[in-house]
Amino acid sequence: MDPSLIARPTPFERASAALHRVLWIAASVLRGLAILALVATVTVTVAGLAWLIDVPPHDGSEWGARVIILAALLVPPALLLLFVAGLRDLQHLPERTRLPADVSARARDLRDRARKVSQPKGVLGAIIGLLLLGREVLTSRDALSPFGVVAIVLRPAMLLAALFAALAAVLEIPAALVFLVILAVT
């Protein structure tokens, strides 16, 4: 009998298998949320257009009211799509990370440059020092910019907003379909 069939998996193999299952579930949830948002967008848009065709507005204020209603109904799917896009960016974050090899050395260098700017050698020296410091700070900011997605997507307010947007999208789909049936019957 093959020993690999009866050997117990190592803790690393078990952890790796668990991580693969979690990643598969997360990808499935992201696909489901994206499909939910797209279906809600399509149904609400079709219902809104059918409403405009079936009962055309009479004046400009009624047009404005209908556009505002349609825009308000499209906010939850749009928010859900933004959340999914942010999570997809977060998923690819390790591939895009460009951190310098020694972040503390970079910070020390920035601190030294800031001290030199604070003790300028004339107006021209201060301007040149500020420009050099600004360039250095911007390059450091570019290196850390992929982490901005983490700060936005994983905020509790954004998670709560995405949850409510998903619930609203789930409710909007049947409501739009019922509205379309009512428009078709009358």
Check whether 132 has a pLDDT greater than 90: no
Cβ–Cβ under 8 Å, residues 83 and 158: yes
Read off the pTM. 0.63
pLDDT in tens, 61-111: 898 899 999 999 999 999 999 888 887 776 665 555 544 455 556 666 666
Pick from 133, 137, 109: nearest CA to 120: 133
Check whether 114 has a pLDDT greater than 80: no
Q: What is the pLDDT of residue 115?
A: 62
* 156 pLDDT tier (thresholds 50, 70, 90): confident
Domain boundaries, the chain: 10-100+146-185
pLDDT in tens, 34-50: 999 999 999 999 999 99
C-alpha triplet 68, 160, 149: angle, nearest 5° = 95
| Terminal Cα-to-Cα distance of the chain (whole angstroms) | 73
What does the chain look like in DSSP terms, one character per residue?
A: --HHHHSPPPHHHHHHHHHHHHHHHHHHHHHHHHHHHHHHHHHHHHHHHHHHHHS--SSHHHHHHHHHHHHHHHHHHHHHHHHHHHHHHHHTHHHH----S-HHHHHHHHHHHHHHHHS-SHHHHHHHHHHHHHHHHHHHHHHHGGGHHHHHHTSHHHHHHHHHHHHHHHHHHHHHHHHHHHHHH-
Q: What is the pLDDT of residue 28?
A: 83
